[in-house]
Amino acid sequence: MSAPAQLDTPREAAAWLHARVRGALSTDSRAVGVGDGFIAWPGAATDGRRFVGDALAQGASAV
């Protein structure tokens, strides 16, 4: 896995995602498929960062 990207602006973040994600973006690791991006953030019910490994195992191309 490569080092985390340093993204300083929303434009840089959008370009980074566009170059990597070929499918959808999701905050639900159970819905992630090959080429999708997974957005992992702490939520009210659970911390999505706990599921980064699951999303990668299911083929996420960006986390």
CA 1 to centroid of chain Cα atoms:
13
In a domain, 48, yes or no: yes
In a domain, 58, yes or no: yes
Q: State both tokens at 42.
A: 């702490």
Residue 6 has what pLDDT? 86
Domain that holds residue 26: 22-63
Helix/strand number for the chain, H first, E second:
2, 2
In a domain, 2, yes or no: no
Residues 6+ apart with CB under 8 A from 56: 38, 63
Query: What one-character DSSP code corresponds to residue 47?
Result: B
In a domain, 7, yes or no: no
Distance, CA of 22 to CA of 37 (rounded, Å)? 8
- The answer to whether 9 and 21 have CB atoms below 8 angstroms apart is no
Domain count, the chain: 1
pLDDT tens string, the chain, 63 residues long: the values are 567 778 899 999 999 999 999 999 999 999 999 999 999 999 899 999 999 999 999 999 999
Residue 5 has what pLDDT? 73
